[in-house]
Structure 1
Amino acid sequence: MARSDPPPAPQRLDRAGLIQGLGAYGIWGVLPLFFWLLQGVDAAEVVAGRVLWSLGLLVIVILAMRRGQAIVAALRNPRAMLLLTASAALISVNWLVYIWAIHNGHVLEGSLGYFLNPLVNVLLGVVLLREKLGRAQVIAVVLAGVGVAVLAIGAGQGIWISLTLAFSFGFYGLVRKVAPVGALEGLTLETAILAPFGLAYLFWLSSHGGLAFGQEALPTAALVASGVVTAVPLLLFAGAARRLPYSTLGLLQYLAPTMQFILAISFFGEQMTLAHALCFALIWTGLAIFGIDNFLTARRRRIA
């Protein structure tokens, strides 16, 4: 009787990748605290500053990593530039709504938007990419839909924030998925596309006496630092995505909205209604089903 081969050893997680992933989602999780420092600054000025200072940092990174040729190749590709123009518009809407939500006491709805995002990605994959859903994914999406309906009926004034954040970032991810350009180069070109609009808005604000930059030390320093808090987690995420299994990265993505949720009801003192509680419970249940199914599927593939 032939002796069967021993089962393969479980794949060890890349420690550097795990640290990068935790760093990226950890920074995103505390972003409400950072943008709270800019309370009173026009949300569009924050976005403009975020774009311009991010671009400055990214150009330095591109030069240091000698990735200029990839930038030139993307600039010569009309399809790539068209897609990056669309993704730049989507991420600018996402940033603007998110910062406005923090400044106006809607951190809870912001965290809900990013809890919804993975399920929106599944929905967009089905509708636009003709992907097929498994049973667990169907259940997760249905539970999320019921949760959103409950919140819309019970506390509908902030649901537009959650849906705008979830769908703008969902479509952003979809566009970037099909754009023939790397993560670093894509983000650099997106910020370059948005930079003229940001500069024009800042000049307009300055001419109307509404520019916060340069007026007080704390807002000015925070606006400069916004480039770092934008680019650094995205670079960490890009590194983690190369090193970690997709299932692990998928589970890590719930860290940021969980941290934002905790900040909303603790530091920011936002009130959680019964509608919020039911909505979050339904979405968390759906996410748990979705995450466990992804984990088990990835494990079966490794064993096979």
Structure 2
Amino acid sequence: MPPTQAEPASGYAYGIAAYSIWGLVLPIYMKALAHVPSMEVMAQRILWSWVLTLGIVAATGGFGTLRPSLTPRVLGTLVLTAALISVNWGVYVWAIATGHGLDAALGYYINPLINVLMAAVFLRERLNRIQAVAVGIAAAGVLILTVESGGLPWVSLALALSFASYGLLRKTVRIGATEGFFVEVSILFVPALALAVWLVRDGGGRFGLAAPETALLIGTGLVTAVPMILFSMAARLLRYTTVGLLQYIAPTLIALTSIFLFGEPFGPWQAVAFGFIWVALALYSWSIVKDRRAAVRAVPAADPAR
């Protein structure tokens, strides 16, 4: 998307909704399943996401466009994105369940910086001066968090790299958001089903033992599929650097949830670092809004018929 072209408001709405679910709803939901083995939660997320997405694709007539879209290149890309998102889901579930929510938040703060780097290298998107300053301030905030923790945790690195790579690949593949996600969970369906069955037979699984937790495991499909579809829709409508900016919503909500609901420790250095990141967010947001208004004003001026 050219820098002078206004980005649609619907793209922002999809992105904000997706990251709000990931940052607030999902950690609370996953914490309620902390007593369930992380691998089982992971498997159930895939299985019930597949069921839900199958219904959506069938109801919207998506199968008619799905078959011609699945070229060898598209299918190969979706195999990679399926592998990346499975890593991301698994690490996230484990982090929330074991009290590493702030590590997860750090990973998702690093994520937009990796997005900007990938956008510059692979998509040739350019930052203006204000945006470059904002990225630098955000990088300083992430550096403070990293030094204060004594090094970059593997949780943070795994989450950042897996999701940044996933977003880049999904932006370049030509397939609908819902249809693409359906193909991804279909690729993961058989391994997830085998894992779920093995856990139940081995006696380590919780599915089917009690109605409340079984209902929660089934519901993982909803809290997984909905934000993934919203994210894919946003990624197709917005510049990749804009998507990277919106991603600050999720780690901020995860951090607040981890501190105030889950009781994870939060010291003065974390507060300083988070302040840096929020200043960067404000600058970058102002720059994007400014560019968008300029692009909207330029449309009537360029059209002699108006």
TM-score normalised per structure 2? 0.84
Tell me which residue corresponds to 2:195: 201
Return the alpha-carbon distance in structure 2 between the equivalents of residues 79 and 246 of structure 1.
21
Tell me whether 1:67 sits opposite 2:59 in the alignment: no
Tell me whether 1:50 sits opposite 2:37 in the alignment: no
Q: Which aligned pairs between 1:256-267 and structure 2 lie closer than 5 A?
A: 256-267=250-261
Tell me whether 1:39 sits opposite 2:34 in the alignment: yes
Q: Which aligned pairs between 1:126-275 and structure 2 lie closer than 5 A?
A: 126-156=120-150, 159-236=153-230, 253-275=247-269
Return the alpha-carbon distance in structure 2 between the equivalents of residues 157 and 269 of structure 1.
22
Amino acid in structure 2 at the alignment position of 1:82: G
Mean Cα deviation higher: 153-162 or 240-249: 240-249
Return the alpha-carbon distance in structure 2 between the equivalents of residues 149 and 20 of structure 1.
30
Tell me which residue corresponds to 2:304: none
CA RMSD for the aligned pairs? 2.9
How far the C-alpha of 1:253 sits from its partner, in A, is 4.8
Tell me which residue corresponds to 1:5: none
User: Number of residue pairs matched?
Assistant: 291
Amino acid in structure 2 at the alignment position of 1:278: V
Return the alpha-carbon distance in structure 2 between the equivalents of residues 157 and 200 of structure 1.
37
Note closer, same or farther for the CA distance 1:68–1:43 as it changes in structure 2 (3 Å cut). same
Q: Are the aligned partners of 1:119 and 1:140 in contact in 2 as well (CA < 8 Å)? A: no
How far the C-alpha of 1:46 sits from its partner, in A, is 0.9
Tell me which residue corresponds to 1:91: 85
SS at match of 2:205: coil
* Partner deviation per Cα, 1:165-219 (whole Å, 9 max, x = no partner): 2221111010001111111111000000111111122233234321111122222
Tell me which residue corresponds to 2:301: none
Return the alpha-carbon distance in structure 2 between the equivalents of residues 21 and 180 of structure 1.
19
How far the C-alpha of 1:100 sits from its partner, in A, is 0.8
How far the C-alpha of 1:237 sits from its partner, in A, is 5.1
Note closer, same or farther for the CA distance 1:156–1:85 as it changes in structure 2 (3 Å cut). farther
Return the alpha-carbon distance in structure 1 between the equivalents of residues 11 and 121 of structure 2.
32
Tell me which residue corresponds to 1:100: 94
Return the alpha-carbon distance in structure 1 between the equivalents of residues 212 and 276 of structure 2.
40
Return the alpha-carbon distance in structure 2 between the equivalents of residues 92 and 293 of structure 1.
34
Q: Are the aligned partners of 2:111 and 2:244 in contact in 1 as well (CA < 8 Å)? A: no
Q: Are the aligned partners of 1:41 and 1:212 in contact in 2 as well (CA < 8 Å)? A: yes
Return the alpha-carbon distance in structure 2 between the equivalents of residues 125 and 41 of structure 1.
38
Mean Cα deviation higher: 136-145 or 16-25: 16-25
Tell me which residue corresponds to 2:3: none
Return the alpha-carbon distance in structure 1 between the equivalents of residues 18 and 127 of structure 2.
29
Q: Which runs of 5+ in 2 are unaligned?
A: 1-5, 299-306
TM-score normalised per structure 1? 0.84
Return the alpha-carbon distance in structure 2 between the equivalents of residues 140 and 243 of structure 1.
22
SS at match of 1:156: coil
How far the C-alpha of 1:231 sits from its partner, in A, is 1.7
Amino acid in structure 2 at the alignment position of 1:56: V
* Partner deviation per Cα, 1:78-120 (whole Å, 9 max, x = no partner): 0001100111111111111111110111222222333333332
Mean Cα deviation higher: 25-34 or 237-246: 237-246
Q: Which aligned pairs between 1:277-288 and structure 2 lie closer than 5 A?
A: 277-288=271-282
How far the C-alpha of 1:130 sits from its partner, in A, is 3.5
